[in-house]
Amino acid sequence: MSRTTIMDKARELGRELAASPEYAAMKQAEANIVQDPQARGLIQNFQDLKKACERVQAQGIEPTEAQLQELHEAQTRMLLNPAVRDFTQANERFLTVLQEVNRKIWEGIQGCSCCEEEGCGSS
């Protein structure tokens, strides 16, 4: 099979994934966040605090307990927002589909349909 054929099949798979209910739910949940100023503010606040902690760590310094506590509280507030919570859940469902697709691709590559725990080629 040519590389072009493989890429064509990959694009086709991408189109199929884009038409899945899981992807549609994730995109709708994302649109709901865009329409919710409170959700956007909570996300922005969390991202700002996370970046601040990452900048400190990049300098070889551990964030203070107060900084970590503030980050944790911002994350909790963010995840309690219904729009953010719905998006997080929808995103996790879509990621599960992607993981299942990846597992099936690997089964095809390895020529087996064994379960994940056993792994292919186990004796």
Q: For 39-94, what is each residue's pLDDT tens digit?
A: 999 999 999 999 999 999 999 999 999 999 999 999 999 999 999 999 999 999 99
Query: For 112, left (φ over 0), alpha (ψ -120 to 50), or beta?
Result: beta
Sign of the torsion formed by the C-alpha atoms of 79, 83, 89 and 92: negative
Give the global pTM.
Answer: 0.79
pLDDT, one tens digit per residue, over 105-117 is 999 999 976 655 5
Q: Which domains does the chain have, with CATH numbers?
A: 3-99 (1.20.1500.10)
Do 91 and 26 form a contact (C-beta atoms < 8 A)? Answer: yes
